[in-house]
Structure 1
Amino acid sequence: MIDIHNHVLIGIDDGPKTEEEAVALLKQAIDNGITDIIATPHHHSGAFLNPRSKIIEKMEELSKLIETHQLDIKVHPGQEIRINGDMVTELQFDVSIPLNQSQYVLVEFSFTEVPNYVEKLLYDLQMKGYIPVIAHPERCKPITKNPNRLYEIIEKGAIAQVTASSISGALGQNLKETSLAMIENNLAHVISSDAHSTKTRPFLLKEAYEVVTEELGENFTEVLQLNAGAILHNKEVKVKPPQKLLPHSQIKKQKKKKFLGLF
């Protein structure tokens, strides 16, 4: 399996602080069946500023650890970039890194707001040849309250990534149901771990795929895994037309009415 979003570089953001923690996290990834991961430290998120030069330095440090401990896993460079007005410029001048230096750029929204300039910025990214990958939209309150925001973004050419711990249920039933609905309605196209630590924010990719297979079917799992591979190898992610989605609160009301036999 391939993981395109996680935080395994040492001492660079809110991921592992020591070599021991990083090795434990990588071993957990291997136990999860993961063969390749794209390391995506935070950039422009709070106090975290991690330009390409710093990431490459930390990648070399992690590669030496992998070799020393003979870990059967490959790590590739990337960033999780909090949306900001300098995104296009930083990508053009090699301050920022697309996912494994591909056409795909992992874009993070704030959990509490989506800026008014988002459509213009994502359009500008695409005009420069990049494809925005929206990180964990199921955890962004403005999107869960108004899923049409995500629908409009996907319809205009972006793709989206949901978090494994959301799908597995580790972050609650609401996030599980929302994530599955996004996948089913072609509003999310890839699953990633967003792993930070072995205990509080672990790799749960295997568990997430098992839930998708059980709830939606093997075909969805196969497509999601193929999409992760396409991003890693800079190939086309094939997407179906997105479908509009009701806010989670309305979905729950509909389910309750049907259960009570009201229609």
Structure 2
Amino acid sequence: MIVPFWLSQPWMGALLRLLVEDPIIIMRRKKVLVWPLSTEEHPIMSHTRLMACLLSGKACENLASWKPGTSKQYRSHINRYKDTWDVKPVLTKLKQLEPLQSLPLKELTLKLVMLMALTQAARVQTLHLLVLKNISIKEEAISVWLGDNIKQCRPGFNIQSVKFFPYTKDESLCVCRTLRTYLEKTEHLRDETGKKDGRLLISFIKPHKPVSRDTIARWIKHVLTISGIDSTKYTASSVRSAAASQARSMSVPIRHIMSKAGWSRESTFAKHYNKEIVQEGDPFQDAVLD
């Protein structure tokens, strides 16, 4: 089987467990992968390579037969995708980041980013695309528009904004309250840069410019680290599986989980995101934060 060498994908762990020999990385060269009806190079080749895999019909957990270097390189990726982290230690840490008004901008930003990621099962790309233009702030919800299409967009599902709902059970975990405070604290910084309608998330370091996706991913990993989660095993993208698995464990109907995360098929959630939660010590949001 020929697949993209894309270690961040949730299916990678399952694929690696089916390997019977060392995978072969296909070196990048011109037109190694083209569109089926033309000679144009496939756009995926601009940011990844291909991997040739000899697979078995049964998952193999024993990597003893692999070469030492290969075994060490891929064992961490196999372990990464077979389970997910427990959200409770992260929520405990977020509760401690109070009161909001006296929090330094760094801590306030970290809290907001993690709350948005958890309550929306959001990709880093989604958080990065949030913009202030035409933001709607109401008592019942805050709607934030996206500056571009996200990965889940497809015919019949073209999400253009993200709606955040208040969490009245515990104000310290309310994403709307945290977002309002963040907007208040960053308003004068946006006035200075002249980008009041630009990206929602800006750097907490001068000159407070809009941040990249990589920066947002580092923020999420930092929150995992300070919450006692192994951030060498779990990446920023693991928030989706952690939130979705927590919601499922709290008996949230599959249709609500799929709607929140933008999945079109139940098999996608069942195969790649419904994972065993590793214990460390709207209905979707309530289940995640409860």
Normalised TM-score (structure 2): 0.26
Which structure's CA Rg is the greater one?
Answer: 2
Normalised TM-score (structure 1): 0.27
